[in-house]
Amino acid sequence: MDLIIGGAYQGKLAYGKEVFSLSEDDIFICTPDKEPDFTKRCLVHFESYVLRCIREDRPVEAPLRADAVIIADDIFCGVVPMDTEIRLWREECGRALTALSLRADTVTRLFCGLPLRLKG
């Protein structure tokens, strides 16, 4: 499993598509109101799946493929939000992605379209 992390609009998906030769059919865009299709190789906006889990009050469990490419926005920087749900989401994203990074073969952070390899 490979993990790509970074701020909003930093070119994470474009990088993932290029490096892992992903086609449009490989990609699932996560939203809070829909269960991800874990048979897809690449899950984008994984942080939105974390928000879905928060709203349904369940642990962030993801039956990922061995060759999965997980892409997430690092929404856990910035000021502690006043809103309870957003605050829990922010913290849970940090935990969930830290746990994923332990399992990941590679971890890459994108900065202004440029990759920095953090692991692997």
Partner 1 sequence: MTIFFSGGCKNGKSTLAESCACALAAGGPLCYLATMIPHDDEDRLRIRRHVAARAGKGFTTIECGREILTALDHAPADATFLLDSVTALLSNEMFRADGTVDEDAGPRTAEALRELAERAHNIVFVSDYIYGDGPLYDEYTELYRRSLALCDRTLAAACDAVAEVCIGQHILYKGALPL
Q: In what order do the strands lie in the sheet with 69-73?
A: 27-29, 42-44, 69-73, 2-6, 106-111, 114-119
> Rounded to the nearest whole angstrom, what is the least distance from the CB of residue 81 to partner 1 in the complex?
6
Binding window for partner 1 (CB under 8 A); candidates: 4-12, 18-26, 31-39, 56-64 = 4-12
Which residue type does 58 have? R
Minimum CB separation of residue 48 from partner 1 in Å reads 10
> Torsion angle of alpha carbons 48, 28, 107, 10, nearest 10°?
-70
Cα separation, 110 vs 22, in Å, equals 17
Of 99, 105, 111, 119, the residue at the interface with partner 1 (CB under 8 A) is 111
Tell me which residues in 47-106 interact with partner 1 (CB under 8 A): 73-79, 81, 86, 89-90
Enumerate binding residues for partner 1 (CB under 8 A): 6-11, 73-79, 81, 86, 89-90, 111-116
